[in-house]
A and B are shown apart, each in its own frame.
Chain A
Amino acid sequence: MNSGPKFSTAVLWTLMILGFALVPVLMRSSYQLNLASHVLVWGLFAVAFNMLWGVTGMLSFGQALYYGLGAYFVGLMVEYLGSAWYLPAIGIGMLAVAATSFLLGLLVIRVGGVYFTMLTLAFGQLAWQITFKWYDFTGGDDGIQGIAAPGFLQNPIAYYYFLLVLVMLSIWILKRMAYSPFGLMLRCVRQNPERVRFLGRRVRRNQLRVYMVSSLFAALAGSLMAGIDNSIHTDMFFWTTSGEVILMSVLGGLNQFFGPFVGAAVIIIIEDIVGAWTEYWSLIIGSIIMSMVILFPKGLVGELHQLKLRMMPPKERRSE
Chain B
Amino acid sequence: MDFSFFITQTISGLTMATLLFLVASGLTLIFGVGNVFNFAHGSFYMVGAYFGYQLVSIWELNFWVALILAGLGAGVVGMLAESLFLRRIYGRVNEGGFQILLTYCFILIIDDLVKLVWGTEYKSLPRPKGFSGALNFGDIYLPSYNLVIIAVGLIVVVASWWILTRTRPGKIARAAAVDREMVDTLGVNVPLTMTLVFGIATALGGMAGALAAPLRTVTPGAGVEVIIDSLIVVVLGGMGNFWGAWLGALLIGEVNAFAVAFLPKWASLFSFLVMVIVLIFKPEGLFSPRQVRKV
A243 touches B104 (CB 8 A): yes
The contact of B105 among A111, A193, A280, A287, by CB within 8 Å, is A287
A247 touches B283 (CB 8 A): no
Measured between beta carbons, the chain A residues less than 8 angstroms from B231 are: 118, 121
Evaluate whether A247 and B100 lie within 8 angstroms (CB atoms) in the complex, with A118-B279, A121-B231, A293-B89 already known.
Answer: yes
Interface size of A in residues (CB-CB distance below 8 Å): 44
**How would you classify the secondary structure of chain A's contact residues: helix, strand, loop or mixed?**
helix
Smallest CB separation, A303 vs chain B (Å):
13
The contact of B98 among A107, A113, A282, A293, by CB within 8 Å, is A293
The contact of B280 among A119, A130, A255, by CB within 8 Å, is A119
- Check if B82 is an interface residue, CB within 8 A of chain A: no
A286 touches B279 (CB 8 A): no
Residue of B nearest to A288 (CB): B105
Taken together as a complex, chains A and B put the C-alpha atoms of A126 and B100 apart, in Å, by 22
Contact with A along B268-284 (1 / 0, CB 8 A): 11001101100110011
Evaluate whether A283 and B113 lie within 8 angstroms (CB atoms) in the complex, with A122-B279, A129-B268, A289-B105 already known.
Answer: yes
A115 touches B279 (CB 8 A): yes
Measured between beta carbons, the chain B residues less than 8 angstroms from A118 are: 231-232, 235, 275, 279, 283
**How would you classify the secondary structure of chain B's contact residues: helix, strand, loop or mixed?**
helix
- Check if A232 is an interface residue, CB within 8 A of chain B: no
The contact of A286 among B89, B108, B276, B293, by CB within 8 Å, is B108
Taken together as a complex, chains A and B put the C-alpha atoms of A243 and B275 apart, in Å, by 19
The contact of A294 among B85, B115, B275, B280, by CB within 8 Å, is B85
Indicate the member of A126, A283, A287, A293 with the most B CB atoms within 10 Å.
A293
Evaluate whether A119 and B94 lie within 8 angstroms (CB atoms) in the complex, with A282-B112, A289-B101 already known.
Answer: no
- Check if B49 is an interface residue, CB within 8 A of chain A: no
Smallest CB separation, A25 vs chain B (Å):
35
- Check if B58 is an interface residue, CB within 8 A of chain A: no
Contact with B along A232-244 (1 / 0, CB 8 A): 0000000110010
Evaluate whether A125 and B272 lie within 8 angstroms (CB atoms) in the complex, with A118-B279, A255-B94, A280-B112 already known.
Answer: yes
Smallest CB separation, B54 vs chain A (Å):
20
Measured between beta carbons, the chain A residues less than 8 angstroms from B104 are: 243, 247, 286, 289
Q: List 29 A-B contacts (CB under 8 A).
A: A53-B97, A107-B280, A110-B283, A112-B294, A114-B235, A114-B239, A115-B279, A118-B231, A118-B232, A118-B235, A119-B276, A119-B280, A122-B272, A122-B279, A129-B269, A239-B228, A243-B100, A247-B101, A247-B104, A250-B97, A250-B101, A251-B101, A280-B112, A285-B108, A286-B104, A286-B106, A290-B102, A293-B101, A294-B88
A290 touches B100 (CB 8 A): no
A115 touches B283 (CB 8 A): yes
Starting from the known contacts A285-B108, A293-B89, 20 additional A-B residue pairs (CB-CB under 8 Å) come to A111-B283, A111-B294, A115-B292, A125-B228, A126-B276, A129-B268, A130-B269, A243-B104, A247-B104, A250-B98, A250-B101, A251-B101, A254-B94, A254-B97, A282-B111, A283-B113, A286-B112, A294-B89, A297-B92, A297-B93
The contact of A123 among B85, B101, B276, B294, by CB within 8 Å, is B276
Taken together as a complex, chains A and B put the C-alpha atoms of A297 and B97 apart, in Å, by 11
- Check if B107 is an interface residue, CB within 8 A of chain A: yes
Measured between beta carbons, the chain A residues less than 8 angstroms from B116 are: 280, 283
Taken together as a complex, chains A and B put the C-alpha atoms of A203 and B109 apart, in Å, by 40
The contact of A115 among B102, B113, B235, by CB within 8 Å, is B235
The contact of A59 among B92, B96, B111, B275, by CB within 8 Å, is B96
Taken together as a complex, chains A and B put the C-alpha atoms of A300 and B106 apart, in Å, by 20
B108 touches A282 (CB 8 A): yes
Taken together as a complex, chains A and B put the C-alpha atoms of A249 and B85 apart, in Å, by 20
Evaluate whether A111 and B292 lie within 8 angstroms (CB atoms) in the complex, with A118-B279, A249-B97, A280-B112 already known.
Answer: yes
